[in-house]
Amino acid sequence: MRNLTHQQAQSFYDRFGAKQDAQSFYEDKAVNTLIQHADFEHAHTVLEFGCGTGRLAQRLLANNLPANATYRGLDISTTMVNLATERLQAYPARAQVSQTQGEIHLPFAENVFDRFVSAYVLDLLPEEEIRELLSEAHRVLNRSGILALASLSYGKTAFSKGVTGVWRTIHRINPKWVGGCRPVKLSDFIRDDCWNLLHHEIISQFGITSEVVVAEKVASQTT
Ligand SMILES: C[S@@+](CC[C@H](N)C(=O)[O-])C[C@H]1O[C@@H](n2cnc3c(N)ncnc32)[C@H](O)[C@@H]1O
């Protein structure tokens, strides 16, 4: 399975920019579920990996997080970082978005965030980077911190299975035609010695299937 390199992902999303928000037609139901189960109302520090246009961040800051909670967003794309920064300008003291070079190592100390969120980004990464990112999420999360993920996944009904098959074929021919994203089974990457699964759901909208995983850090383990 070919994945986009970090450089290819950066240039794709630099060009794609605000069009990302049009993907909400199949992402919103899964993102709503993620928000519903990750208890953002009790979070004071949130890190989002691959924040895109800042749509989820704006929603969390406006509706879910306590008034003194802070948000950090990371993204590889200059266009996305600019869009998210502009979108979050109402929260200058609380929200900060930074550009990365796509590195999976998170530039933060251990045990500093209450939530680690990532929506439709792990499905872009090679499997070894998904494992590495989850290990990093575990490192930077506080004791009992919560991991909240959504990504493309595999359909369960005949129709959504068909859509999954078509999507995988397109990805195999040229991953850029689907933004580098392909269905992954997130739950396979959730080690039960590291995470206590709080919520797991497969959701299809218009035949496109998403997986939502919300899990609490098991503090005593090393990854
Ligand atoms: C499909 S978009 C999802 C954006 C946003 N999370 C959403 O749900 O609308 C993938 C995002 O991940 C970013 N991205 C891809 N690879 C990345 C990496 N290695 N590190 C950080 N961001 C990355 C892209 O620039 C893009 O903004």
pLDDT for 66-120, tens place per residue? 999 999 999 999 999 999 999 999 999 999 999 999 999 999 999 999 999 999 9
Q: Mean pLDDT in the chain?
A: 95
Q: pLDDT class for 220, splitting at 50, 70, 90? A: low
* Per-residue pLDDT at 22 exceeds 60: yes
Taking the chain, what is the end-to-end CA distance rounded to the nearest angstrom?
26
Domain ranges in the chain are: 6-217
* Per-residue pLDDT at 223 exceeds 90: no
Q: What is the pTM of this model?
A: 0.95
* Per-residue pLDDT at 199 exceeds 50: yes
List C-alpha distances in Å: 26 to 158, 193, 211.
17, 32, 12
* Per-residue pLDDT at 136 exceeds 90: yes
- Tell me which residues have their CB closer than 6 angstroms to ligand 1: 6, 9, 13, 20, 27, 49-52, 55, 74-77, 80, 100, 102, 119-121, 124, 179, 181
C-alpha 106/C-alpha 143 separation (Å) is 17
* Per-residue pLDDT at 183 exceeds 60: yes
Q: pLDDT class for 46, splitting at 50, 70, 90? A: very high
Ligand 1 closest atom vs CA 123: 1
Neighbours of 5 (CB within 10 A): 12
pLDDT at 2: 82
Nearest residue by C-alpha to atom 5 in ligand 1: 52
Q: Above pLDDT 70, what percent of the chain?
A: 98
Give me ligand 1 centre to Cα 220, in Å: 30
- CATH homologous superfamily for the domain 6-217: Vaccinia Virus protein VP39 (3.40.50.150)
Q: Where are the alpha helices (DSSP H) in the chain?
A: 6-16, 24-37, 55-59, 78-87, 127-140, 158-173
pLDDT digits (tens, 9 = 90+) for 138-179: 999 999 999 999 999 999 999 999 999 999 999 999 999 999
